[in-house]
Structure 1
Amino acid sequence: MALMTDVRTSGSRLVPVVAAAALATAVNVAFPLASPLLVALVIGVVVTNTRLADLSLMHGQDRVTKLLLRWGVVLLGLKLPLDAVIGIGAGGVAVVVATVLVTYYGTLAVGRRLGLEARFVTLLAAGFSICGAAAIAAVSDTVRARQRDVGLAVALVTVFGSLMIALIPWAGHVLGLDDGQTAVWAGASIHEVAQVVAAGSVLGGGAVALATTVKLGRVAMLAPMSILVARRSEAARDASTPLLPWFVVGFMIAVVVRSVGVLPDSAVAFSGIVTNVLLAAGMFGLGLGIRGRELWPVPVRALLLATLSTAVAAGTSLALIQLTA
């Protein structure tokens, strides 16, 4: 009897989570530049700062949404065929690896100089150097980040990445880059996969495929970067904390599964939809733990760090593209 009650309770807790993820996805369909992860986070913040938070359905959401978020990171690996990444060539791989490392360590160095809290700086460094909100989610447990820091990092990486959708194609034209070079620049510097697709669409032709492939090369850095984060994190000094969280290991396994080609195209396409829904559901849960006053006004030093981190990613990748041209 108690088991049935637990099952019903767990099922009821999924109702607001699924509804929020569906709403965020619908907003993204209507307005493609609106990240479903940011929309879901905002919905969570709105709910928890109103009387909706008193509803019984909203209680005990932390465990459920955190699990959904982790499974979203796992399925993210199914978007990453390694043969496609290798196909960008040694020059493209060099641009990706160097941009990720310079952006990550550069953001950490600047964040320390600005006096920002180390956990928040690590979140921002991971998100801006690798793959936006998914990377932030992947390292948040390792650094034992506060929910407000995760929320602020996700908001910043989404806003700054969105600004680059129009900026990179325009700047590429001004600088005299051809469409292929601009596509590589977009993939190596813009923060979210969806934002890279949008920027590639502005360029047209085969730019979308090239930009997305370069971006997926950055996504492939999620596992090794998670190890680096764990090694330098205070949490990693705890013997009970694994070097790699189980969901990052799952991400690596999913990459292998996708790369060996055992999944049909329909399954890969469906997994992409499920991935977005799971990540959005997790972001809704993060939003439930954030008070509005914790996100606004945005700290000036956090805005400065986000600006400089974006500039480092764009500047490093542009310099390398021009050197390898």
Structure 2
Amino acid sequence: MPTVPPVPAAPDTAAPPTTTGRVRRLLPGLLAVGVAVAVAVLANQALPAVSALTIAVVLGVLAGNLPVLPTAARPGLTWATRRLLRAGVVLLGLQLAVPQVLGLGAGTLLVVLATVAVTFVGTVALGRVMGLPRGLSVLVGTGFSICGASAVAAVEGVVERDEEDVATAVALVTLYGSLAIAALPLLAGPAGLGGEDFGRWAGASVHEVAQVVAAASPAGAAAVATAVVVKLSRVVLLAPLVAAISVAERRRRPAAEGKRPPLVPLFVLGFLAMVVLRSVDVLPAAVLDGTKFVTTLLLAGALFGLGSAVRIAALVRTGPKALLLGLFSTLLVVAVSWAGLTLVL
């Protein structure tokens, strides 16, 4: 009986996606990010007290909850959220010059360190007492103690959290930072701090850089300049705080639960490298100005992507408790920084 020859196997047509195919898959989401970033930057120019990062995340939340984003946009939004975020945090390091920060003096730097530590630990502890998700408490504690939306964006990749937690933290930074712009100048007299000393207080307690400038402006240009440097001294602490949170997350999540956060995220090392590069003063002013603008664009794109994944119904469920947490954290950062500066000035 003759042997029937085997039927040849069908060729494998599931070839890996080409670069062109990948670009086409990401393009709808990237176009949405580009439009949102442009709107956020233009809106920020009209309302300087509201940062482009805050506007971007609000646009993302609106786009994610209204029928304006096609399903095809999701891959590009996911890609932009992760990649743009890390690139933006790395470039953020170019805004920090260590000699400039050290020029503030040991007393002011000690106050900044104590304020950041007490605000972060106190916020996380109160969030636990209130029964809020740990991820939300860590995001709020980081944003309020360091540098607002940028800090929230930097830490969201290393802490276990829901998408709604990120939007809630940024919303709280916006709300209470805006209130601080109005309240802090009114408190300058009763607090006994004027001129550059008031600038130190604004820099040590207000959340966003743009909010710091707005809050310190009534005290004059010298106060604004001092406030910005003090604020940047808080930003320097972003890297060690993110690294510490990452280590804590590794201990909380056994290896059996899946991939754990890296011991020190690569983008944090990149951030530190940029701080060193800025501190040796080899880059011209035009390059530094350009990278500052690019940093804003990158972080705004990432926050739009984060906001687009938020669902308002889930966000509302944590509203009242989250508002109380933000209020407590704001009062804590304002009180600790004022008490510290009163002692050292």
TM category (shorter chain) comes to over 0.9
Asked if 1:146 corresponds to 2:162, the answer is yes
Alignment match, 1:282: 302
Instruction: Judge conservation of contact 2:26–2:73 (CA < 8 Å) in 1.
Output: no
Asked if 1:322 corresponds to 2:338, the answer is no
SS across alignment from 1:308: helix
Alignment match, 1:247: 267
Instruction: Judge conservation of contact 1:196–1:215 (CA < 8 Å) in 2.
Output: yes
Shift of residue 8, structure 1, vs aligned partner: 3.9
Asked if 1:228 corresponds to 2:244, the answer is yes
Which string of whole-angstrom CA distances, capped at 9 and with x for unpartnered residues, describes residues 185-240 of structure 1?
00000011111111222221311110000000000001111122122225764555
SS across alignment from 2:69: helix
Question: What runs of 5+ residues in structure 2 fail to find an aligned partner?
Answer: 1-16
Q: 1:120 aligns with which of 136, 146, 156?
A: 136
Distance across 1 between alignment mates of 2:27 and 2:275: 30
Shift of residue 55, structure 1, vs aligned partner: 5.6
- When Rg is computed on C-alpha atoms for both structures, the one with the higher figure is 2
Alignment match, 1:199: 215
Which string of whole-angstrom CA distances, capped at 9 and with x for unpartnered residues, describes residues 242-301 of structure 1?
112111111111111111111100000011111111111001001110112223365211
Please show how residues 14-93 of structure 1 align to structure 2 within 5 Å: 14-54=30-70, 56-93=72-109
Distance across 1 between alignment mates of 2:115 and 2:78: 34
Instruction: Judge conservation of contact 2:139–2:156 (CA < 8 Å) in 1.
Output: yes
Shift of residue 59, structure 1, vs aligned partner: 4.5
Instruction: Judge conservation of contact 1:120–1:145 (CA < 8 Å) in 2.
Output: yes
Which string of whole-angstrom CA distances, capped at 9 and with x for unpartnered residues, describes residues 82-112 of structure 1?
1110000001101110100011111112111
Distance across 1 between alignment mates of 2:281 and 2:24: 38
Please show how residues 290-301 of structure 1 align to structure 2 within 5 Å: 290-296=310-316, 299-301=319-321
Alignment match, 1:163: 179
**One-letter code aligned to 1:39:** I
- After TM superposition, the score normalised by the length of structure 2 is 0.90
**One-letter code aligned to 2:224:** V
Alignment match, 2:19: 3
Distance across 2 between alignment mates of 1:58 and 1:186: 39
Instruction: Judge conservation of contact 2:26–2:76 (CA < 8 Å) in 1.
Output: no
Q: 2:191 aligns with which of 175, 199, 202?
A: 175
Q: Which moves more between the two structures, 92-101 or 65-74?
A: 65-74
Alignment match, 1:187: 203
Distance across 1 between alignment mates of 2:251 and 2:149: 21
Shift of residue 138, structure 1, vs aligned partner: 1.3
Shift of residue 57, structure 1, vs aligned partner: 3.7
Instruction: Judge conservation of contact 2:40–2:52 (CA < 8 Å) in 1.
Output: yes
Instruction: Judge conservation of contact 1:143–1:234 (CA < 8 Å) in 2.
Output: no
SS across alignment from 2:282: coil
Shift of residue 49, structure 1, vs aligned partner: 1.5
Shift of residue 78, structure 1, vs aligned partner: 0.7
Distance across 2 between alignment mates of 1:141 and 1:57: 21
Instruction: Judge conservation of contact 1:236–1:243 (CA < 8 Å) in 2.
Output: no
Alignment match, 1:262: 282
Instruction: Judge conservation of contact 2:203–2:231 (CA < 8 Å) in 1.
Output: yes
Q: Which moves more between the two structures, 261-270 or 196-205?
A: 196-205
Instruction: Judge conservation of contact 1:236–1:242 (CA < 8 Å) in 2.
Output: no
C-alpha spacing 1:189/1:10, structure 2 compared with 1 (3 Å) = same
C-alpha spacing 1:212/1:28, structure 2 compared with 1 (3 Å) = same
Which string of whole-angstrom CA distances, capped at 9 and with x for unpartnered residues, describes residues 10-59 of structure 1?
34532111110110011010011222112111111111222212263455
Distance across 2 between alignment mates of 1:269 and 1:235: 40
Instruction: Judge conservation of contact 1:230–1:236 (CA < 8 Å) in 2.
Output: no
Shift of residue 323, structure 1, vs aligned partner: 0.7
C-alpha spacing 1:235/1:73, structure 2 compared with 1 (3 Å) = farther
Q: Which moves more between the two structures, 295-304 or 240-249?
A: 295-304
C-alpha spacing 1:81/1:238, structure 2 compared with 1 (3 Å) = farther
Sequence identity percentage:
44
Alignment match, 1:101: 117
SS across alignment from 2:160: coil
CA root-mean-square deviation:
1.7
- After TM superposition, the score normalised by the length of structure 1 is 0.95
